[in-house]
Structure 1
Amino acid sequence: MADFPGKVNTETSSPQPQTGLRQHMNISMDFVFVKTIPGILMLVEIVTGMLVWALISSAAYQLVPAFGWVLFVSVTLWILTIVLFVILFLGVYQNVSFVPWALALMVFYTAATILYLTAFLANAFSVPVYMFGYNFDRMVAAAFFGIVVTLTYGASAFFAYTDWRGDGGNAATSTVPV
């Protein structure tokens, strides 16, 4: 027993230095985010937003100029929501500490709610143009999904507001640490 060393080195290889993007950014997938209420709402926003623009673009939307606004809002917010989801899911926000993420999320969701509300109203008031046409069902479905995505953006704005105010004491509903 006397010849057994006091310290044992269990390291089998020397650590390799990180290169490239992982050297500067610690990126890891946050599967817990997908299970939170803001994560689920964001996935619903992505799916229903895609349904809105897909239904509008598959119809003869050129007849009514208001549908151009609906397409602009739905496609723009769909892309921005996907980018935001990737940023939150991969934890990139942790490496960009100079951005006040709670405030940025609240502003984004509030603006998205207002924009989608105007797009929904433009869609809903323009549906009667297609009353006896082939595209009537698509435009009605787009209006339905438009109000659904408006309400989900509104709910996300509420949760972002509670995170920004610090009232969200439940860690499971917190999207981004303040």
Structure 2
Amino acid sequence: MADFPSKVTTETSPPQPNQGFAISAFLDLDFIKTIPAILMMAEIVLGLLVWALIASTTYTLVPAFGWVMFVSVTLWILTIVLFGMLLSGVHHKLTSVPWLLVVMVFNGVAAVLYLTAFLTNAASIHYYRLFIHFYNHTAAAAFFGIVVTLTYGASAFFSYLAWKGDEGNAASNTVPV
């Protein structure tokens, strides 16, 4: 039998102050590292760019841009709310909600709505062709509109894969990873 070392210290380190406890106790920081979370953060930033570029023009003169503003602002707010819910772990507390299905449907509907907003924006740019400043803003909004459409489409695809990976269990309480 091996001899037990005669000098063993059983001292523990002094208690550390609550550094970061409040953040890690309420937020699922592992979620931020997932592809769906990265896509959601990109959707928030790109959506902000779309509606900020449109809002910086005289969008009220062209009714079509009202639709672009409605879609971009509404989905921007809803994406922030959904991201906050997933980040804070609300989906673990509300187990009766089929989160995989909810996220998949949200992303699919958002992709379709943003596609219509992009097409509306791209078709209405010519109204500002004489006002180069507004023309540049609406053209940039169209570019970011298609990028955010593709981002929502990618989110819908990954949400679908997660939903199918869960064998379509609508009662699942996990988020896509």
TM-score by length of 2: 0.79
- Identity across aligned pairs (percent)? 63
Counterpart of 1:37 in structure 2 is 35
**1:34-84 CA distance string (max 9 Å, x none):** 111111000000000001001101101112111000000000000000000
TM-score by length of 1: 0.78
Q: How far off its partner does 1:98 sit?
A: 0.4
**1:75-113 CA distance string (max 9 Å, x none):** 000000000000000111100000000001110000000
Counterpart of 1:162 in structure 2 is 161
**1:125-151 CA distance string (max 9 Å, x none):** 000111121301000010011001000
Q: How far off its partner does 1:123 sit?
A: 0.2
Matches within 5 A, 1:135-150: 135-150=134-149
Runs of 4+ in 1 over 6 A off after TM superposition: none
Q: Could you tell me how far apart the structure 2 residues matched to 1:143 and 1:118 are?
A: 11
- Residues 177 and 55 (structure 1), Cα distance of their counterparts in 2 relative to 1, 3 Å cut: closer
Matches within 5 A, 1:110-121: 110-121=108-119
Counterpart of 1:4 in structure 2 is none
Q: How far off its partner does 1:28 sit?
A: 2.3
Q: How many residues align?
A: 146
Counterpart of 1:12 in structure 2 is none
- Among candidates 82, 85, 88, match of residue 83 of structure 2: 85
Q: Could you tell me how far apart the structure 2 residues matched to 1:83 and 1:146 are?
A: 20
Partners of 2:47 and 2:148 within 8 A in 1: yes
Q: How far off its partner does 1:29 sit?
A: 0.8
Partners of 2:158 and 2:176 within 8 A in 1: no
Query: Could you list the runs of 5+ residues in structure 2 that have no partner in the other structure?
Result: 1-24, 168-173
Q: Could you tell me how far apart the structure 2 residues matched to 1:87 and 1:104 are?
A: 12
Q: How far off its partner does 1:167 sit?
A: 7.0
Q: Could you tell me how far apart the structure 1 residues matched to 2:35 and 2:105 are?
A: 18
